[in-house]
Amino acid sequence: MGDMREQIWNRRTASTQHYRWYRNLADLHGVTASWLRDLGVERPSYFLSRGVSSINSLGGALGASGKGAAALSEDLSSALWMLEQSSLDSILDDSKPEELLARLEITIWSVQCWTASALIEQAPDREKASTMNRLEQSAWQAGRACADRRWGSLAAEARERAPALLGALRDSPLSGNPGRENFLLQRLTEREARVELRICPHVPPFTSSLGTSDQCDRLCRLHAHFTQGFLYSLNTKAIFEQSSPEGRRCEQRWQLPA
C-alpha cells in the first residue's frame, strides 16, 4: 500500500497546454517522416530518447556534417520510435512535463535538420538540387494536409481575413509550446499580416543544436514551404513571402487579394 501511495505521489500530470505542445511536436516529427516516405527511404527509424541526459550533445552529433548519410545511433533510433508509438502520458517520467517536452522539442528539430542534410548529402551531385526540390514539395504538402486536419472547418468568411489566418498559423506544429508566442507582430490589417519569427532554426535554442549555418538555412527554407502549404489550405489565393534580413529575425508576410 505504501508503494502505491509513493507511486501516485511521484507521478507527473500533464495539462491541456502540454497535450497541445506534444501534438505539435508529434505532427512536426510527422513532417520528417513524410520526407523519408516521399523520397523512398526504406524502413525509416527515427526515434526519441527520453533517457537522454543532454539533448544539446545529441543535436551536435546529429548536425555533424562528417556523418553524412550514416545511420543514427541505435539509442536515438529506439527513443524516437517511442514518440511515434506512444501518447504523452506513456512517456511522462519524474521530470516536469514542460522539461520533458522542451528536451523532446530540441531532439525533433535536431533529427529533422539532420534528416534533410543527410538526404541532400547522400544524393549524387547532379541530383542534390532536385532532392531539395522534392523535400520542399513534401514540406508544402505536409503543411497543407496539417491545416486541412486542424482547420478544415474554418468558416469561409474567416478565411478571407488576415487576423483569422494569423490565429490559425499560431496553432501549427512549428509553434511548439502553445504558451509561447511564436510571432512578433509588425503589421496586421484585414488583408495583410507581417511578422518576425520568434521560433526558427536561426533562433536560440535551436540554432546551437542544429549544426552549421547552411543546415539552419536549409531547415528554415523547408519550414517556410510547410507554412506556405499550411496557408494555401486556409486560402488558396493568399500570397506568402519569407525573408531573412542579415542580423535580424526571419520575417514572413502574407497578403490576401482585395
Tell me the pLDDT tens digit for each residue of 187-238: 999 999 999 999 999 988 888 777 788 889 999 999 999 999 999 999 999 9
The H or E element spanning position 218 is helix 213-234
Checking if the pLDDT of 148 tops 70, the result is: yes
The grid coordinates of residue 170 equal 499560431
- Between CA 238 and CA 165 the distance in angstroms is 10
% of the chain residues with pLDDT over 90: 44
Checking if the pLDDT of 63 tops 60, the result is: no
The sign of the dihedral angle between the CA atoms of 170, 172, 178, 181 is: negative
Q: What is the pLDDT of residue 45?
A: 55
Q: Do the beta carbons of residue 197 and residue 250 sit within 8 Å?
A: yes
* Section 115-132 average pLDDT: 91
The H or E element spanning position 162 is helix 162-169
Q: What is the pLDDT of residue 133?
A: 97
Q: What is the pLDDT of residue 2?
A: 43
Residues 6+ apart with CB under 8 A from 95: 12
> Mean of the per-residue pLDDT values for the chain?
80
* Section 113-133 average pLDDT: 91
The residues with which 188 forms a beta bridge, in sequence order, are 193
